[in-house]
Amino acid sequence: MRKSKAFKKKIMRIVSAIFIFFSVPSYADFSDNLRVSLDGSARLNNNIAENNTSRIYALGLDTHKVFSSANGDIGYAVGQLYLTKLSNQTPYSSLFNSPDDKQFVIREAHLNYTAGPQWLPNIRVGHFTLPFGLEASIDTNGRLLDYYHGKKLGTKLDWGVGFNKVLSQVQYEFSYTMGGKNEPKTINSSYVFSGRIGSLSHLDFIIGLSFLDAKIDNIQRKRFAIDWQYYWQTWGLLGEIAFGKDDKFQKEWQEEKYSLLELNKTSINEQLKFYGQYIFTDREGESKNQQLINLGVRYQIDAEFELSLSSRKQLNTPESGKKQNLIRLQLRYRY
Amino acid sequence: MKIIIILTLLLFSLQYSHADAYCSLRDPVAQIQQLYPQKTNQRSIVKTVDSSTRNLVKLALPSNDLHFSELGRHTLYVAMKNTQALGYVHVRSEQSKWGLVEIIWALDKDLKIKDFTFQRCRSPKKKILDNEDFRNVFIGKSYEELKTLLSSDGKTANKILLDRAKGAPELASVVLRCALKTLLITDLLWGEELKKFNP
């Protein structure tokens, strides 16, 4: 409870600081080059394997502000603060204290300084998505479609500093973050060093190489990955192969292999998107690998409303005997 | 209580939204560099394309409409060489049978087409841009001049452009519609503010 209050105070300070920063008259009008959206969603999860139905509600503000001077842009800030309420959610994220808890959650909150000379990388500071794999170039925040960043790496977002740049043929991002996940601090010597270098993200064929060296939740992780995206007309074929090792018990490294393959199809007006994912995970020390299938559809009703449905099924029977079987439905509204 | 006040103040600045979260926004840095190799930086000017803009487009270009992703807050980039403006860059999408085609337009300070390139085009005919004959129809043209290339249906390109499109008539019409909407919307929304860069 005390931890929760302290965290809320911290959030208040951050929000107040951002608000005051934006309000400084030298940056002209408050609304100059500012994007602000109200973003709300209601998600229904039917976990058939566990015979449990839960709901997750989120309401927040998504903001983006570009700072400029007479010479051009200096950089930009992204701030996403959400009040998130769980209802009978099990298992629940470490951000929450119970299956019915509610918390203020910071998703992305960072500044990216872009005004350096051509040879100098942009500098990002704050809470951002780890530059690793497919998720680094495809944003899935607030969506059912996911590339399993958090599950593979220990967290999806973290507080720290990063260096990034788009060059004429390649783009890269490297970051050093504290491993505190939603809190800007190190916990038990936690850290995350990660990076990705890839071809330009607007092309029809994109390929990237990533690495990660981290200690989060007292688990040491090392990963290398290759990811790719290929688009042909309204079809997309995406994939990621990662291999590495985890050390949960100090000097007992266990190898892990992970791969994701996705085929998606978008309607020509981009309102409808279907996707199917096959996810394979093999961990040393576990007698069976894990094979999952994700099928989903996303319907963008108009600029504000989006309806999504996804179904996740496990193909092989795990040691526990219970195959994953989850159906999720989400309505999202952005204004 | 404090957070309610702050959220209320922020809510006053709500504008037309964008379907994707803002952390997914990417500036077309590599393409701006390609269109303006001498630029040292770019300056963003964000404006709102709303239903009144949409109605003005429908009025000026009957039979045309804006895709829902074209509504909301959009950025025009001023390509800068130190403190001097070299020209403008505007990215717009146009629906096609291959999904959305996104074109990056470089405009001069008189709002004429200087150059253009595809940000995203999944048509098998996208090499049309390598055809100088086709490109040259657009380069140096204003909105009024390009509008004469529309056929009587108001959506497809006329024979002058199609003769140069060599086997890619649908994509040629997509590029033309995108050019017209880009020039029109740039003038409607950014025209007044851009005057300071072209005294």
Which residue of chain B has the CA closest to A63? B22
A259: distance to nearest CA of chain B, Å? 24
pLDDT at B10 over 80: no
pLDDT score for A149: 79
Cβ A37–B14 below 8 Å, yes or no? Answer: yes
Query: Using a CB-CB distance cutoff of 8 angstroms, which residues of chain B are in contact with residue A16?
Result: 2, 6
Amino acid at B199: P
pLDDT of residue B67 exceeding 90, the answer is no
> Contact B102/B31 with Cβ under 8 angstroms?
no
Dihedral sign (CA B121, B127, B131, B132): positive
Residues 6+ apart with CB under 8 A from B92: B70, B102, B103, B105, B178, B181, B182, B185
**β-bridge partners, A287:** none
d(CA A131, CA A193): 9
CA distance A206 to A35: 28
Q: How far is A255 from A62, CA to CA, in rounded Å? A: 38
CB contacts, 8 Å: A268 with chain B: 95-99
H or E element that contains B34: helix B29-35
CA distance B85 to B94: 27
CA separation, residue A160 to residues A111, A178, A194, A260 (Å) = 11, 6, 11, 27
Is the pLDDT reported for residue B4 higher than 70? no
CB contact under 8 A, A232 and B24: no
3-state SS, residue A318: coil
User: Is A324 in contact with A313 (CB distance < 8 Å)?
Assistant: yes
Residue from the list A34, A171, A300 with its beta carbon closest to the beta carbon of B13: A34
**A25 pLDDT higher than 50:** no
Amino acid at A94: S
Cβ of B23 within 8 Å of Cβ of A70? The answer is: no
CB A241 within 8 A of CB A226: yes
Q: Which residue of A15, A29, A31, A35 to mutate against B (max B Cβ within 10 Å)?
A: A35
Residue B67 with chain A: CB contacts under 8 Å: 269-270
Say whether A303 and B17 touch across the interface (CB within 8 A).
yes
Residues 6+ apart with CB under 8 A from A195: A131, A132, A172, A173, A174, A175, A210, A211
Residue-level pLDDT at A28 = 53
Closest to A19 (Cβ–Cβ): which among B6, B25, B83?
B6
Whole-number Å distance between alpha carbons of A209 and A198: 6
Task: Using CB atoms, pick whichever of B23, B95, B96 lies closest to residue A78.
Answer: B23
User: What pLDDT does residue A18 have?
Assistant: 55
* Among candidate residues B99, B76, B27, the one with its CA nearest the CA of residue B182: B76
The arithmetic mean of pLDDT across residues A98-125, rounded, is 94
Q: Per-residue confidence at B114, pLDDT binned at 50, 70, 90? A: very high
Cα-based distances in Å from A116 to A122, A198, B4: 7, 21, 37
Residue type, B71: L
Distance from CA of B171 to the nearest CA of A (A): 13
| H helix or E strand, kind and range, residue A4 | helix A2-23
| Residue in chain A nearest B124 by alpha carbon | A233
Q: Do A80 and B14 touch (CB under 8 A)?
A: no
Cβ-defined contact of A202 to B98 (cutoff 8 Å): no
Whether B91 contacts B119, CB under 8 Å:
yes
Question: Average pLDDT for residues B146-157, to the nearest whole number?
Answer: 94
pLDDT, tens digit, 9 for 90 and up, residues A113-156: 999 888 899 999 999 999 999 999 888 888 999 898 777 899 99
For A180-226, what is each residue's pLDDT tens digit? Answer: 998 999 999 999 999 999 999 999 999 999 999 999 999 999 999 99
Could you write out the DSSP letters of every residue in B124-138? TTGGGGG-HHHHHHH
Residue A292's Cβ-side half-sphere holds a number of Cα atoms within 13 Å equal to 21
Inter-chain CB proximity A334 and B17 less than 8 Å:
yes
pLDDT at A242 over 80: yes
CB A131 within 8 A of CB A162: yes
> Three-state DSSP class for A94?
coil
Contact B97 A30 (CB under 8 A): no
Q: For position A7, what pLDDT does the model report?
A: 55
Substitution target from B23, B46, B193 for chain A, most A beta carbons within 10 A: B23
